[in-house]
Amino acid sequence: MKVKKRTLLLLACLVWTTAGCNVFRIGILTYSAYISIFNVMLSIGIFFIFQTFIFGRLLRKHTARILHYTEEFQFFLNFFDLKAFIIMAIMIAGGIYLRISGLAPDHFIAVFYSGLGVSLTLAGILFGINYYQYASLAAQQHTHKGEEP
C-alpha cells in the first residue's frame, strides 16, 4: 500500500508516540516505590540524553529522508529505513527481556523507562508537528498554483 510521502511523517508520529506512551506507562507504573528527587532528576537526565543524542537526531534524519523522496507516493513502511526497524526490534526485544528475566530491577525500570518513554513520545509528537508543517506548506503551494492539496 502506498501513501503520500508526507503521510509517512504521520505514521512515524503514531508509531513513536504509541511506543513512547507504552514505555512511559511501564516506567510510571513501577515508579511509585522509588519516587525521590534524585530519581526524578535521573529520569530527566535520561530524557535529555536520549532526546539530544538519539531521538532528536533520528527525527531530523528520517524527516529529511522522507521529504527528499523524489516520488510522491511511497510504501507505507518507509517512515523508517531498514536500520531503524532493526534497532526498534532490538530495543523492543531487549526491553521485554530485561523485564521478564529480572535482570533489570524495578528501580531501573522506573527511572530509565520514564525518561526514555517521554523522549520517545516527544519525538513522536515532533514527527506530527513536521507532518502538519509539511502538509500546511504543501497546501499553500497548491493554493498558489490553483490546485487542490
Of 118 and 137, more confident? 118
For residue 16, report the phi and psi dihedrals to the nearest 5 degrees. -65, -40
Residue 147 pLDDT greater than 60, yes or no: no
**pLDDT > 70 in the chain, percent:** 95
Domain range for 86: 2-145
Distance in angstroms (rounded) separating the CA atoms of residues 129 and 124? 9
Q: Which SS3 state, helix, strand or coil, does residue 75 take?
A: strand
Distance in angstroms (rounded) separating the CA atoms of residues 23 and 2? 29
User: Which pLDDT belongs to residue 125?
Assistant: 98
Q: How many distinct structural domains can be found in the chain? A: 1
User: Which pLDDT belongs to residue 73?
Assistant: 97
If you average pLDDT over residues 130-134, what whole number do you get? 94
CB atoms under 10 Å from CB of 52, counted, come to: 11
pLDDT digits (tens, 9 = 90+) for 4-61: 999 999 999 999 999 999 999 999 999 999 999 999 999 999 999 999 999 999 999 9
Q: Count Cβ atoms within 10 A of the Cβ of residue 31 and give its class: 0-12 exposed, 13-18 middle, 19 or more buried.
A: buried
Distance in angstroms (rounded) separating the CA atoms of residues 37 and 34? 10
Residues 6 or more apart from 20 whose CB is under 8 A from it?
117, 118, 119, 120, 121, 122, 123, 124
Of 139 and 94, more confident? 94
Residue 139 pLDDT greater than 90, yes or no: no
User: Which pLDDT belongs to residue 140?
Assistant: 76
What nine digits make up the cell of 81? 529505513
What are the respective helix, strand and coil percentages of the chain, to the nearest 5?
A: 85, 5, 10
What nine digits make up the cell of 8? 509517512
114 pLDDT band (50/70/90 cuts)?
A: very high
**pTM confidence score:** 0.88
pLDDT digits (tens, 9 = 90+) for 103-113: 999 999 999 99
